[in-house]
């Protein structure tokens, strides 16, 4: 049988892909992190499904459940918040499953930063303002960041930054980023985006920490930073612009 790592999106039950819903409906075992998703997501599971909340389990305990289900001939839906390709611990779990001889696959989901951008109606890449998006995280009490991936190095590019696992360090991060983006740089914080408890904070690097602390945000939030979040006077992209395009030259008869 197979363990299906499924992107649960930002948590809303109707932001799952059709494939994700089909796998949930057909899997007798479902593992999920209760901290990050709306309980309605689990309504896609069979009525008699075994539901395991992983928020208080370590990787070895999670793996034990997956291996046990496989041995019993049961498919498993392993829900991951957002998209499994970033900060999902799929790599660690897959390594353990490979060692145990348990097959697995991955179904992508809607990442939280994309859901946040959709809520505020903003494109994160704006012509001649920002054409790159950097996905990164904060580090203090967690695993160390590679030496080549310091936040200051990313900030020096002035690309749009997406910060995961960083909400508890907002004040420190805002001060560091202000040196590169300026204190008035726009910031958006999305917490439990798409869920009934959703909170969206809009501010600047100068005041966002005060807003985060006033709202009491401690987890399940993503921080977007960059001038693309407030860009108004920008050029049109080449693909759709009304600029006069050069006409092709005369045919030469050669290739």
Residues 117 and 102 in one domain: no
Are residues 119 and 46 part of one domain?
no
**To the nearest 10°, the Cα dihedral for 37, 39, 42, 48?**
140
Q: Are residues 131 and 221 in the same domain?
A: yes
Q: What is the CATH number of the domain that holds 99?
A: 3.40.1010.10
Are 143 and 63 contained in the same domain? Answer: no
Residue 163 lies in a domain: yes
Do 22 and 124 lie in one domain? The reply is: no
Give pLDDT, residue 243.
Answer: 55
3-state SS of the chain is: CCEEEEECECCCHHHCCHHHHHHHHHCCEEEECCCCCCHHHHHHCCCCCEEEECCCCCHHHHHHHHHHHHHCCCCEEEEECECCCCCCCHHHHHHHHHHHCCCEEEECCCCHHHHHHHHHCCCCCECCCECCEEEEECCCCCCCCCCCCCHHHHHCCCCEEEEECCHHHHHHHHHHHHHHHCCCCEEEEEECCCCCCCEEEEEECCCHHHHHHHHCCCCCEEEEECHHHCCCCCCCCCCCCCCCCCCCCCCCCCC
Q: Is the pLDDT of residue 246 over 70?
A: no
Residues 199-213, mean pLDDT to the nearest whole number = 98
pLDDT for residue 119 is more than 50 = yes
Residue 15 pLDDT? 94
Percent residues over pLDDT 70 in the chain = 93
Residue 143 and residue 73 share a domain: no
Q: Is the pLDDT of residue 249 over 70?
A: no
In a domain, 134, yes or no: yes
Same domain for 92 and 159 = no
Whether the full predicted model's pTM is greater than 0.85, yes or no, is yes
Is 80 contained in some domain? Answer: yes
Average pLDDT over residues 51-56: 94
CATH number of the domain enclosing 124: 3.30.950.10
Q: Which residue has the higher pLDDT, 247 or 2?
A: 2
| Mean pLDDT of the region 61-67 | 97
Domain span at 103: 3-107
Domain count for the chain, please give it: 2
Within-domain flag for 250? no
Question: Is 174 found in the same domain as 70?
Answer: no
pLDDT at 220: 87
pLDDT of amino acid 233: 83
Strand partners, 104: 3
One domain for residues 152 and 220: yes
Does residue 199 sit in the same domain as residue 140? yes
pLDDT band at 36 (very low <50, low <70, confident <90, very high): confident
In a domain, 246, yes or no: no
What is the tens place of the pLDDT at every residue in 138-184? 866 667 888 889 999 999 999 999 999 999 999 999 999 999 999 99
| Residue 253 predicted with pLDDT over 50 | no
pLDDT at 230: 94
61 and 32 fall within a common domain: yes
Mean pLDDT within 122-130 = 94
Instruction: Give the end of a domain, one of 75, 107, 139.
Output: 107
Q: Kindly state whether residues 89 and 124 are assigned to the same domain.
A: no
Domain annotation covers residue 252: no
Residue 234 lies in a domain: no
Domain membership flag for residue 238: no
Single out the residue in 50, 72, 107 at which a domain terminates: 107
């Amino acid at each position: 049988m197979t363990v299906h790592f499924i992107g649960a999106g930002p948590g809303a039950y109707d932001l799952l892909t059709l494939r994700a819903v089909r796998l949930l409906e057909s899997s007798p075992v479902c593992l999920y992190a209760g901290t990050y998703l709306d309980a309605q997501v689990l309504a896609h599971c069979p009525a008699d499904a075994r539901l395991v909340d992983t928020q208080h389990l370590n990787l070895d305990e999670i793996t034990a459940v997956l291996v046990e289900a496989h041995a019993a001939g049961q498919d498993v839906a392993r829900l991951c918040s957002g998209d499994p390709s970033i900060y999902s611990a799929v790599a660690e779990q897959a390594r353990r499953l490979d060692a145990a001889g348990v097959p697995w696959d991955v179904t992508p989901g809607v990442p939280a930063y994309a859901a946040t951008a959709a809520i505020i109606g903003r494109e994160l890449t704006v012509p001649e303002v920002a054409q790159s998006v950097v996905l990164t995280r904060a580090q203090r009490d967690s695993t160390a960041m590679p030496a080549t991936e310091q936040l200051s190095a990313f900030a020096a590019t002035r690309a749009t930054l997406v910060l995961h696992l960083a909400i508890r360090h907002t004040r420190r991060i805002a001060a560091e980023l202000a040196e590169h983006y300026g204190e008035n740089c726009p910031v958006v914080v999305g917490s439990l985006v798409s869920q009934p408890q959703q909170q969206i904070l809009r501010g600047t690097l100068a005041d966002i920490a005060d807003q985060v602390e006033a709202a009491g945000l401690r987890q399940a939030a993503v921080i977007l930073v960059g001038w693309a979040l407030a860009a108004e006077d920008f050029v049109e992209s080449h693909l759709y612009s009304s600029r006069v395009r050069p006409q092709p030259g005369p045919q030469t008869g050669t290739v």
